[in-house]
Structure 1
Amino acid sequence: MPDIMGGQPKEAASPGGVPRVYPPVAKPNPAADPRKMRRIIAEDPEWSLAVIPLLRNLCLQHIIKNFHENPILDKLLPSHKAQVLEKLSTSLPLKVTANLISDEGYWRRCCTQRWGISDVSQYGDSWKRMFFERHLKNIIELFIPDVTDPQTVLEMVPLCRNYVKKLDISQLLPPVKEPQKGDEDDCSDTASDAGFDGPSMDHFDFGILLDKLSHLEELHLVYGVKGCGMNFEWNLFEFTYRDCQSLAKALKSCKTLKVFKIHQSKVDDEKARVLIHSLLDHHVLKELDLSHNIIGDRAARAIGKLINRSNLEKLSVYDNKIRGPGAQAIAYALSRNITLRSLNLRLNRIGDEGGQAIAQALLKNTTLVDLHLGSNELTEPTATALSQVLVQNKTIKSINLSCNRLGSDGGKQLEEGMSHNGTVVEFDIRLTEVDQEGEYCISQVLRSNQDKAGQALQ
């Protein structure tokens, strides 16, 4: 029988007498790589030792796949945590991700997938803040009274209250208008008299939300409907007295509010007074905007009271119906105020009665920097009063008198005042009937003041 080590086949007798032949045994080659000598037969013909995933990666994939059931994140190493956050689905429930994930990269993916390209600078450069502010905004703007369950809003509070600093609500939907019943329905009058007819609210009730948003600083509201098209009705843009009362109560409870704006909502004197009364002791309020409404002199008097009771720095009531007496009330408050820096009264009807009152107030005021009185039916007497302000006031830097009828004589008065002024760097007198010579002289003084201001900054 040949030697096995010699490579010859080996024969042996079987129980039946038939010889068995064994294959030759290869001699070991010390120089060969042992790993290349092994033969592995796998069930998967494409299986290869080179593509076997690391156990670490298998574990991370399992964590990602089952994150909604077992959100393990804080226990991971920083490098492993980054891998998980990069692969996590943006459709995970907010109950899981809201208070657990702070990674800006993840929230950027959420924002981009939902809204496309967005400007995060408007949200303090925080993608997480942007996501929750816009998400809550969408819920409120699509809220239908007596149809949408308020719980859908309340469920969001624990998830977003630490991240929402600003709410910019551009529409508020009214209740669904029920079809008119026929005359045969005799019980309709009875139901109305009993108090069962009509919705329980006219728009979303901010009273259920504002006191729970502990970091809310800005609130912008428009009581109207976007894109109503052929379904336009005036009641779609009606800020009711019931809305006003509930909003005033909500504002009073929101102690962190710094900026409040409500415009294009047909806010009249009565409703404005209710809102302003709720803000009288709001010492953190810095900006109030009641523009594009129908506010008159009664509300202007309330605004004057607010100026002296608060720490307002910016007030905008442009495009309303304020006349001379209302402007006088604001001017009286301005003469005693030490915080207001910007006042915008354009597109009202204050006339020379109000314009002169404000000019007289600026002879005492030492904080106002920006004044806008455009389109207010002002004429030469107001220009004469403001010329004295230009001589004495050393604080104001920007004045806008555009779209008034100051005339050439008024322009000469302003030119005389500006010749003694060294602080005003912006002065808009377009469409005021001031002659070209006056405009040129004023522009020369402005250029000189601007150069001085630029040198001071350097």
Structure 2
Amino acid sequence: MKRRIFAADSSWTLVVVPSLSKLCLLTIVDNFEAVAKMPLFEELQPTEKHFIEERLSPDLPLHLTASRVSDGVYWKRCCKQRWKLCDVSHYSHSWKRMFFERHLENIIELFTPGVTEPQEVLNVVPFCQRYVKRLDISQLLLPIKEPQGEEEVFTLILEPEDELNQSKMGHFDFSILLDRLTNLEELSLVYRVKQCGMNFEWKMFEMTDQDCELLAKALKSCETLKVLRLRFSQVEDKKCRVLVKSLLDHPSLRELDFSYNLIGDRGARGIGKLLSRSHLEILDLSDNKISSHGAQAIAHALSKNSTLLSLNLHFNHLTDVGGEAIGRALMSNETLRHLNLGGTGVTWHTAVSLSKVLQQNNTLKTIVLSCNKLGDVGGKALEEGVSENISLTKCDLGLTEVDEQSLSFISERVCRNQDSELRKGK
């Protein structure tokens, strides 16, 4: 006689009973700290690992996940949990790289000298050093200033200014970190404090002498670095020369951006020396305090350089002395492709010099001369220069007082070169 058994739950069915393999995988998820160290975990199939990674807690300690959990869904979940904006295309479509780069950036940006222990940063390095290729540090904090009594304030007033500067503690010390990041290729720094509110002080927006010395030491030891950006940090001639000295003969540096600082002619001479002893391809010195003397030093180096592809001197006061020097340098330079002299105080004299360059140079692709008083004479000179030129695909003459006829002629020739470039590409 057959017996029938009725389930207490009418919706129960054999279909929802988990398989033994699934139960085992769920057990691994619940006990990952113990199981991850076993050889068994490495023997799992890719689909089984994916199943586990979809369910692991994003809050697991890095010493468990960094080396054992591969790039993919787990690290995507970790990123999405911590940050609202997660464009993985900026990280070569690697979620793991995104997590470790942004995690290390956050630690450095919140590092408070004298309060945060440097070991807190160094503890993360063994887990992230394989994945960190770029660091974009948008703020660096100063030490917390303790309240001072009347006697202490009086003592500080009596102390010589040099002694006070020497005793100032700087920002985060990059010399303890960069040589450990063996895959670092790109470093962007801004010495400033975001959202400082009522605590605003000018020193929050500049690197100290101590910062400069330590960063120079760190840069020299980071032989994989290809791109260095140090902007909005009140870098003047002295600091510029200290940094440049550490970059001489650097084996891999290709791009240097010191824009929006206070670099003058002495700093520019140091950078001229760097052009002679490096493989720089991109140099951005826009919005500094370089005058004609500094421009002449850069031009001298440019005349002998064979690697630089882009030079940006936008918003420096070069005048025609500097502009013409650069024009003469380009008569012998066959490498530079992009030149920006916008807002540099040059006139038609520089336009005439560059016109001669364009008549024989078929390397330059971009020239920016906007916000300069070139006038009709400058426009006519550039007309003559571009008439036979076959390489120039952009010529920015906005706000230069060049007449419409010259602008139209130059634009027509540039468009012709653009079309020719496109046909070559096909």
Same fold? TM cut 0.5: yes
1:206 equivalent to 2:171? Answer no
- In structure 1, which of residues 259, 264, 267 is the aligned counterpart of residue 235 of structure 2? 267
- The residue aligned with 2:125 is 157
Distance 1:259 1:265 in 2: 17
Decide whether aligned partners of structure 1 residues 47 and 452 sit closer, same or farther in structure 2, where only a CA change above 3 A counts: closer
Deviation at 1:47, TM superposition (A): 7.3
Deviation at 1:235, TM superposition (A): 1.3
In 2, are the aligned partners of 1:145 and 1:199 still within 8 Å (CA)? Answer: no
- The residue aligned with 2:327 is 359
- In structure 1, which of residues 75, 95, 112 is the aligned counterpart of residue 43 of structure 2? 75
Distance 2:279 2:156 in 1: 51
Identity %: 55
Distance 1:350 1:132 in 2: 43
- The residue aligned with 1:413 is 381
- The residue aligned with 2:425 is 457
What are the within-5 Å matches in structure 2 for residues 18-417 of structure 1? Answer: 28=1, 37=3, 39=5, 51-71=16-36, 73-183=41-151, 201-417=169-385
Summarize deviations over 1:165-205 as a string: whole Å, max 9, x none: 0000010001101112222899989999xx99997731000
Work out which of the two has the higher radius of gyration on C-alpha atoms and give 1 or 2.
1
Distance 2:216 2:77 in 1: 37
Misfit runs of 4+, over 6 Å: 44-48, 184-192, 195-200
Distance 1:400 1:81 in 2: 54
Residue identity matched to 1:334: L
Summarize deviations over 1:295-344 as a string: whole Å, max 9, x none: 00001011011001000000000000000010011001111011000000
SS at 1:88's partner residue?
A: coil
Normalized per residue, the structure richer in helix is 2
Q: Aligned-residue CA RMSD in angstroms? A: 2.5
Deviation at 1:116, TM superposition (A): 2.2
Distance 2:97 2:168 in 1: 32
Distance 2:94 2:205 in 1: 33
Decide whether aligned partners of structure 1 residues 101 and 340 sit closer, same or farther in structure 2, where only a CA change above 3 A counts: same
Decide whether aligned partners of structure 1 residues 390 and 58 sit closer, same or farther in structure 2, where only a CA change above 3 A counts: same
Range moving further from structure 2, 402-411 or 87-96: 87-96
SS at 1:261's partner residue?
A: strand
SS at 1:101's partner residue?
A: coil
Residue identity matched to 1:181: G
Summarize deviations over 1:388-426 as a string: whole Å, max 9, x none: 011011100100000001111111111111112111010
Residue identity matched to 2:250: H
In 1, are the aligned partners of 2:345 and 2:372 still within 8 Å (CA)? Answer: yes
Range moving further from structure 2, 279-288 or 200-209: 200-209
Decide whether aligned partners of structure 1 residues 226 and 406 sit closer, same or farther in structure 2, where only a CA change above 3 A counts: same
Distance 2:335 2:158 in 1: 60
Distance 2:341 2:92 in 1: 32
Residue identity matched to 2:343: S
Deviation at 1:74, TM superposition (A): 1.3
In 1, are the aligned partners of 2:71 and 2:95 still within 8 Å (CA)? Answer: no
SS at 2:32's partner residue?
A: coil
